[in-house]
Chains A and B, each alone.
Chain A
Amino acid sequence: MENLKPTVIVSCYREDENMLKDILAGLEEEGVFYSIEKLNSNFDLALLARNAALKSALGVGIGIAFNEVCVQFKNLDIDKPLFAEKGGDGKAFRRLGCNVARFVKGMPLR
């Protein structure tokens, strides 16, 4: 574990700016901290999210590439992401961020 602060790690590759903003807003409103890393190289979205989850002290990683997002939890298999969505509107991304935060807090998902 690289990061000792209790954060969700958000790994981005050519991310849709608005999507990222809304997901982060969802996390922030629920009071869960995050750290962002921007990557330049090729990727596999699930792997991107997986590596983020393994680095995160909370065990949760969000991978965003273009307008697709994948959320991985370190205790689940890579083929069982917590969330995986492609496209959508601001409300949906806000809700995704909110649900990732609620998962971290042990609360039921919206």
Chain B
Amino acid sequence: MKLIAGVDIGNSTTEVCIAEVLEEKKIHFLSSALVPTTGTKGTTENVTGIVNALEEALNKIGESIKNLQEIRINEATPVIGDTAMETITETVITDSTMIGHNPSTPGGVGLGIGITVDIEELIKSSDTEDYVVVIPETINFEKASNMINEAFRKNIEVKAAIVQLDEGVLINNRLIKKIPIVDEVKFIEKVPRHVVAAVEVADMGQTIKTLSNPYGIATIFKLEAEETRQVVPAAKSLIGSRSAVVIRTPEGEVKEKIIPAGNLYIHSNKGKVEIGIDAGADEIMKLVSNIEEIEDIEGEAATNIGGMINNVKNTLSNLTDKPLSEIKIKDILAIDTTIPVKVNGGLAGETYMEKAVSIAAMVKTDKLPMLKIAEVIEKNLGVEVKIAGVEAVMASLGALTTRGTKLPIAILDLGGGSTDAAILDDKGKVCSIHLAGAGELVTLLINSELGLEDRFISEQIKRNPVAKVESLFHIRMENGEIKFFDEPLNPKFYGRVVVLSKGEMLPIYKDVTLEKIVQVRQSVKQRVFVQNALRALKHIAPMNNLRNIPNVVLVGGSALDFEIPELILKELSLYKVVAGRADIRSSEGPRNAVATGLVLSYLG
């Protein structure tokens, strides 16, 4: 029995396929295996993973490595992707002009305007002015309400309160006259005294109407048109809150600054163009798409993007033993996103969703030193190793084993670090492209847009559906279905959104709704993979027209995702292109395309 193996070393996984070559030049597939890639793709460290995968696949059929006749590995295209993010806006509250943290239990209802005064000073105040009383944590709710009631009895007009502790409801419940109260103001000492302030609390289930309206603020503080323009950022950031405070200090305002986030320099045969990151993703991608072939991309020194681009080039330089000067960035994908940032000058620890641009870059060079890997394998295992051919061709051959396909065939390889496309025509000619932006970028964006600060949970959210724990005995899944439990759930899950991962429930500790998680997850997958699917296919399509591609087969790890293939299919159907997840050899799904192709190519 002539046993051969096809080995595909990928960025994240190493896949193997074992087959028997029969007399009549026929191939009989026996088994396959998939293990995590050991070391960076293209280094001799990969050999450990290769051996693991081979042993696993061979054990399944009761064979061993010494019975292998030949091991075929791919001429891997060294493609390394990386991502970085730059925040491009910054909200700064100067001189404590507003409080917008939206506490969960404010007191009272309505709009209260007055001059800010310490509660200790209140009783000495005159009865001709209106006041907004400021209450630090040293005065508890009982004492505070007594002091305010005493002031009421002396006809001192208290119109609202700003409180440090979480006691807005407790105080208001004990007052003889009800007033709007904003509580949980952490840095109460920063609230300016003896200035005009406006406190607004909306009814339960409602949002404020006056302080989120620039004209509302103008009316209260008697502003001119130019001054009104200056309060727009404050009003804007208060939209959708149930409560807020705006304090008119002579110098204070809420400033929205654009952060100069550095430039990108794109080199092509037509010269060099430059664009600032803060121009936004749309402008950057417009520029990129106008360039026929990118020769290299650099980032401005001392910026996040500049650092990322240098890192990714260094990694590849080390990998291929080529000098840094020969390593070129061939593609970038820019995506507009938002990221929660603590507001500078905030009085209550407010965070604000600032604009950011995320960039994925892809580095490529000629050949990886696969010979080195081949040598090590031959030495360690005593089996002949052949470097069998271009990855794109192997992938296409493997993809063809999906029922319902024929040549010309286009494949979309949705990976972790890059999105690749290749088209193999009936004359055996292949055209391929590698683009930046794939699974890892999706995880990064989910992490930043939901403000999770947890890559692990972001990865789980990407791969799995979510549910809300509605009682100690049941959860409601995102599609509305209910799941019951025999034993009561751990209180740490109660009321939380959880990710259903491999039969386990992972609680999400940030304050995000289930709907928001689903929306962000789907939006990010759309913005990264659907955009890249179109970009990639347009590159390789005959005459750059998508309608000239008869069918597209999706392969790669991200093709296993529960939503991504459907999103791509929906988009491509607009171009009347048949697209779907591959089913290699009708048994592997979208996995094992290259390994299968390597085995098939044995017959020449």
Contacts and interface: CB of A to CB of B under 8 A. Distances in A.
Interface of A: 25, 28-31, 73, 75-76, 80, 82, 102-103, 106-109
Interface of chain B, main secondary structure: loop
10 contacts: A25-B170, A28-B173, A29-B170, A31-B105, A31-B169, A73-B472, A82-B491, A102-B495, A106-B470, A109-B495
Given A29-B166, A31-B105, A106-B470, 16 more contacts: A25-B141, A25-B167, A25-B170, A28-B170, A28-B173, A29-B168, A29-B170, A30-B105, A75-B472, A75-B473, A80-B488, A102-B495, A103-B495, A106-B495, A107-B495, A109-B492
Interface residues of B, number: 18
A75 B470 CA distance: 14
B215 interface: no
Contacts of A80: 488
Contacts of B170: 25, 28-29
Interface of B: 105, 141, 166-170, 173, 470-473, 488, 491-492, 494-496
A28 B473 CA distance: 27
A109 B141 contact: no
A33 to B, nearest CB: 12
A25 B492 CA distance: 23
Given A29-B167, A102-B495, A103-B494, A76 B472 contact: yes
A88 B532 CA distance: 57
Contacts of A28: 169-170, 173
A82 B170 CA distance: 25
A76 B169 contact: no
A40 B470 CA distance: 37
Nearest to A30: B105
Contacts of A25: 141, 167, 170
A53 to B, nearest CB: 13
B514 to A, nearest CB: 12
Nearest to A108: B495
A9 B492 CA distance: 24
Contacts of A109: 491-492, 494-495
A76 B494 CA distance: 14
Contacts of A106: 470-471, 495
Residue among B470, B473, B491 with max Cβ neighbours from chain A (10 Å): B491
B511 to A, nearest CB: 8
B150 to A, nearest CB: 21
Contacts of B168: 29
A25 B168 CA distance: 11
Nearest to B168: A29
A108 B496 contact: yes
Contacts of A31: 105, 169
A29 B496 contact: no
Contacts of B495: 102-103, 106-109
B236 to A, nearest CB: 28
